[in-house]
Amino acid sequence: LDDIKRKLYSDLIELGIVLAFFFMIITIYVPSAIWVEEATAAEDARFNIQTVHDVEYFYKILTDSYEENGLWAMNIVNAVRDSVMADSTYLGERAFELAGESVDVLIPEGYDVEFDTTFGFL
């Protein structure tokens, strides 16, 4: 009977050691997985904010103002870039219509090159 109890306690201790090792692995892996996910989210957020900044920067160059609607600003910036790519003399003060609204812009020389340099990765 004494040997049976000793063997039972020995088995319980071994089981406890295995469980403790398992939980130790979990406590190491889970935080590192969370840190990797947080780093990825931070990089994505920074990329998105930088893109919004760049769109607003180009919108400011074209209109000398900022736009609260980021999608509208992006459409203007892209429309001007498309126009400059289609006609390299499409520079200076221009007025065009986009989505039923008239837009006045001042397109500087080299706009297309700066645009492509900034957004060339997309």
Tens-place pLDDT, residues 5-17: 899 999 999 999 9
Give the angle subtended at the CA of 92 by the CAs of 51 and 84, to the nearest 5°: 55
Place of tokens 């760049």: 54
Return the closest-CA partner of residue 106 out of 59, 38, 68: 59
pLDDT for residue 41 is more than 90: yes
19 pLDDT tier (thresholds 50, 70, 90): very high
How many whole angstroms separate alpha carbon 77 and alpha carbon 118? Answer: 12
Range with lowest mean pLDDT among 50-54, 77-81, 113-117? 113-117
pLDDT tens by residue, 61-104: 999 999 999 999 999 999 999 999 898 888 999 998 998 999 99
Mean pLDDT over all residues of the chain? 92
**Helix boundaries (H) for 64-101:** 70-86
- What confidence score (pLDDT) does residue 57 get? 95
Long-range contacts from 64-69, C-beta under 8 angstroms, 24+ separation: 64/106
Structure tokens of 89? 């003399």
d(CA 10, CA 71): 67
Instruction: Determine the pLDDT at residue 106.
Output: 94
